[in-house]
Amino acid sequence: MFIEINDLCKSYHTGEIETVALKNASLSLEKGKTGVILGPSGSGKSTLMNILGGIDRADSGSVKVDGIEITVLSDDGLAEYRRAKVGFIFQSYNLIPHLTVAENIEVIENISKNPVPLDEVLKAVGISDKKERFPRELSGGEQQRVSIARAIVKNPDLLLCDELTGALDYVSALDVLSLIQNISRRFKTTVLIITHNAAIADMADLVWKLRNGEVLDTIVNNTPADAKEIVW
């Protein structure tokens, strides 16, 4: 298995109040497959993704990615792990406002061992003609494409997408999902999407339903739909 998560627990403390985000969550995913974690707000899906991506730490449990137990890694070890293996796509894009589209992507290309050529990435996400623009000069959908391009330029083994269509209109959302699917197929990238939109689950090989930090259900989808065909 490329991803193996076992009995993962995580709580947050605000003053004296304890909020349980994950309760013994377990899941696994093979390399090159697409997984979708479904759940409402506060179900723990973002926490799960953050721990998997090495940007947050678990209280207990085990997370193995490509054979690496990431829960035991130091901060620097986690940085190396993220650098080598993980690409992030955020709902709010998190682009660097003072860099152009091309430069936003080059920022990550620069630190990658085997980057995909910039032009190829720009072409793949369909924003070649906008590479000299600044983020504020783009629409939401276009900004999300830049965010995707930035995530895939390093040719990551694992692509983590946090509500990547949350801020987009339907047409743009389908475009972006289709793009992710194509990337996964083309680069054999393992993709994990977290969303509250159940329709997106149709394009996944595996779907996990989360509620109150617990994995309630795991659905195996032997015939994932083409992203373009998803309807909501």
Partner 1 sequence: MVMKLNKSIPRIMKERPSVYAGMIMLTFLSVLMFVLLALVAQNLYVSKEEYVRNNVREDLEFTSTTEIENSEEIENKFALTMESVPMTEYTFGSKTLRLFSASQKVNIPAVLQGELPQAGEIALDPSFAKANDYYVGSTLEMNGKSYTISGIITLPNYAYILQKQGDFINDPTVFGLGLLSSEDMQESVKLYSVKYDETQDNIYEQAKPLKAYLNEQGVAIASWDYAKYNMKISLLDIEVTAIVICSALIPTIFMLITAFLIAIVQSRLIKSQSKIIGTLYAQGYRRKELITHYLCYPVIIAVFGSVLGGLAGMAALKPALAMMLGFFQMPVQNISYNPLYLLFGTILCCFIFSLGSFISLKKIFRRMPSELLRNDGKEKNINILERKINLSRLPFKTKFAVRERLRSIPNLIFTVIGVMIASMFILYGFAGDSSFASMLNPPESETFHHSIEYASTTPRTDPVPEGGETIAAWNMIPTKNFSDRFQLAGITDDAQLITLKDRSGSPLIVSGDMVVISAPMANRYGLAVGDTLSFIDVINDGEYELLITDIADVDKGDYVFMSLDGFDALMGWEQGSYNAIMATSPLELGEHAFKTKSAETMASDMKKYTALMRLFVYGICAVAFALGIIILYIIASISIDESKEQISLMKVFGYKSKEVSSMMLNSSRIFVVLGYLIGAPMGFATAKLLFIVLEYFDISLTATMKPLYYLVGFTIIMSTFEVAKTISTTKIDKLTLSEALKTQEE
Task: For the CB of residue 142, give the shortest distance to partner 1 in the complex, in Å.
Answer: 12
Q: Of 114 and 222, which has the nearer Cβ to partner 1?
A: 114
- For Cα atoms 211, 5, 184, give the angle at the middle one, nearest 5 degrees: 90
Task: For the CB of residue 37, give the shortest distance to partner 1 in the complex, in Å.
Answer: 15
Q: Of 167 and 225, which has the nearer Cβ to partner 1?
A: 167
Task: For the CB of residue 180, give the shortest distance to partner 1 in the complex, in Å.
Answer: 17
Q: Is 169 helix (H, G, I), strand (E, B) or coil?
A: coil
Where residue 135 falls (left for φ over 0; alpha for ψ -120 to 50; beta otherwise) is alpha
Asked if 29 and 36 count as a contact pair (C-beta separation under 8 A), the reply is no
**Tokens describing residue 201:** 């689950």
* Residues of this chain that bind partner 1 (CB under 8 A): 50, 53, 55-57, 75-76, 79-80, 82-84, 86-88, 90, 92-99, 103, 106-112, 135-136, 140, 143, 150-151, 154
Asked if 4 and 15 count as a contact pair (C-beta separation under 8 A), the reply is no
Q: Is 159 helix (H, G, I), strand (E, B) or coil?
A: strand
Q: Of 195 and 201, which has the nearer Cβ to partner 1?
A: 195
Q: Of 46 and 195, which has the nearer Cβ to partner 1?
A: 46
Q: Of 147 and 184, which has the nearer Cβ to partner 1?
A: 147
Task: For the CB of residue 174, give the shortest distance to partner 1 in the complex, in Å.
Answer: 21
Task: For the CB of residue 164, give the shortest distance to partner 1 in the complex, in Å.
Answer: 14
Q: Measured between alpha carbons, how far is residue 189 from residues 7, 183, 205 in Å? A: 25, 7, 13
**Could you tell me which residues come within 8 angstroms of residue 217 by beta carbon, excluding any fewer than 6 positions away?**
207, 208, 209
